[in-house]
Structure 1
Amino acid sequence: MPAECKVMLDSDSVSEKQTSSCRLTTALLVFTLCLAAAAAAAVLLFNKQHQEPQGDENSLDLHHTLRQISNVRAAIHLEGYYNPMRKNSVEWKPQVDQFHSQGGFELDHNEIVIPQRGLYFVYSQASFRVSCSSGEDDLSSHNSLVHLSHTVKRWSSTYESDDRNRKYETILHSIRTACQKTSSSDPDQEGKWFSTVYMGAVFNLSQGDRLRTVMEERMLQDLEDDPGKTFFGVFAL
């Protein structure tokens, strides 16, 4: 009997050890699963944090592009033509060739109207085809030396004048000499000569200011009005 009792006690001890071992194994398994779950959560959080800035950056780029589209700078570009009915200026026409207008610019009575106060670059070009002659006997003739000029004038409400008696002031003026030939000139270059007068500068203009061009009537008949040769424009800075 004592021996059996001892055996019984040893069996209980082994059972307790097995139970403890199972509990430890279960605890380790649960701990491992917890670690795996935490690691997976950390990976998901990391990926989300790195993906969100990219989305924000794309959104910022889109908003920046939209702002650029909505904040288009004011500009106008006109092509010029010869109109026999207009005696002192090129005829500026919209809706032809390279014409464009945005930001509130208007063409009124052959004049550009400034939409709002600010700095603007004003430019204009006039191209001519003039007849030239050569030879010692022709050097003193009218066609041996031709003066070409082009002018841009401004009217502003800041001037001391009323709308009925508008006083225009010159803001751009250019003049050049063409057809200065000698008897030794290349005979192949006889006949028509082509010359261009270009000018441009920055001005501080007010809303409602008007810009117009002026040219001598005698030069208008020699105007080159093919696309891209004679133009007038303004754009905001």
Structure 2
Amino acid sequence: MEGDCSRVTVDLENGPVYPSPIVTLVREKPTRQWRLCGALLAMALCVSAALFITWQKQDHTEKPDELQHMLRQLSENRKAAIHLEGEYNPSGAYKSSVEWTDDEGQGFSQGGLKLNNNEIVIPQTGLYFIYSQASFHVSCKANPKHPNEDMVHLSNTVKRWSPSYGTEDNKVYQTLLNSVRTVCKKSSNGEAASEGKWYNAVYVGAVFSLERGDRLRTVTENRLLPHLESGAGKNFFGVFAL
């Protein structure tokens, strides 16, 4: 066998000497299987290098665009909501109603809902939760002969105008929410006058299906406006999308 041979030495005087093996290392020629594996390995390294270079280019060129797209989606997907705070201002632009604002106190607006001409404008058709509160401080007079005069009726109303109702020139508002509360302060001795003040908040809120372009406004009776309380969290009006 190649690579494995023995040498016999003969000593003419002492006789033959037993052979000592001599091992010769022989490098085997690569087989076809090994050559195929090497080719596949080289191809895999080339493909990996190409993919790495492509990923590096995308990481530097496409990443900012993807980030901007994600931020744009987050901004567009913000829930539409608006919260207004209000008070009665007899010298203001809205002398016969509560004057609302979205840039004072806890007021804000986002997602397309906006305040326009003291009304909330709906940006898209959908389900919305509408809520409002009006707070009053009133005094009642006790009169045994006319008990009905002892009572003061407080109310809070939210009305809606929709493009399906009519044109801008002939706006007809329909009542969505209305709450009435009766309060009275009677004197302990039955006398006619009592200077005690009653503080009451009238709250309304419910879910409605609204259309794009709808307008919402609150209505408070003129006789009650001078009794409207002022201060943070007393009077508010808001809408948010569901």
Give SS of 2:205's match: strand
Q: Deviations over 1:113-156 (max 9, x none)?
A: 1111111111100011112356x7597374x3110001111001
Question: Which stretches in structure 1 are left out of the alignment for 5+ residues?
Answer: 24-61
Q: State the TM-score, normalized to the length of structure 2.
A: 0.67
Q: Deviations over 1:179-205 (max 9, x none)?
A: 2546289xxx96211101001111111
Higher RCO (C-alpha under 8 Å, 6+ residues apart)? 1
Q: How far apart in 1 are the matches of 2:236 and 2:119?
A: 13
Correspondence for 1:217: 222
Which of the residues 89, 101, 124 maps onto 1:93?
101
Whether the aligned pair in 2 keeps the contact of 1:150 and 1:175 (CA below 8 Å) is yes
Question: Which stretches in structure 2 are left out of the alignment for 5+ residues?
Answer: 1-10, 28-66
RMSD: 3.1
Structure ranking higher in helix proportion: 1
Correspondence for 1:207: 212
Letter paired with 2:178: H
Letter paired with 2:240: F
Query: Identical aligned pairs, as a percentage?
Result: 55
Is 2:149 the partner of 1:152? no
Q: State the TM-score, normalized to the length of structure 1.
A: 0.68
Whether the aligned pair in 2 keeps the contact of 1:154 and 1:211 (CA below 8 Å) is yes
Which of the residues 185, 188, 203 maps onto 1:183?
188
CA radius of gyration, larger in: 2
1:1-237 matches, within 5 Å, as: 1=11, 6-7=16-17, 9-11=18-20, 13=21, 15-16=22-23, 67-85=73-91, 86-133=94-141, 140=147, 142=149, 144-159=150-165, 161-181=166-186, 183=188, 191-237=196-242
Letter paired with 2:84: L
Q: How far apart in 2 are the matches of 1:220 and 1:75?
A: 27
- 1:88 positional shift: 3.3
Structure ranking higher in strand proportion: 2
Letter paired with 1:10: P
Change (3 A) 1:6 1:197: farther
Letter paired with 1:163: E
Whether the aligned pair in 2 keeps the contact of 1:120 and 1:235 (CA below 8 Å) is yes
Q: How far apart in 2 are the matches of 1:234 and 1:71?
A: 17
Q: Give the ranges of 4+ consecutive aligned residues of structure 1 lying more than 6 Å apart after TM superposition.
A: none
Change (3 A) 1:179 1:72: same
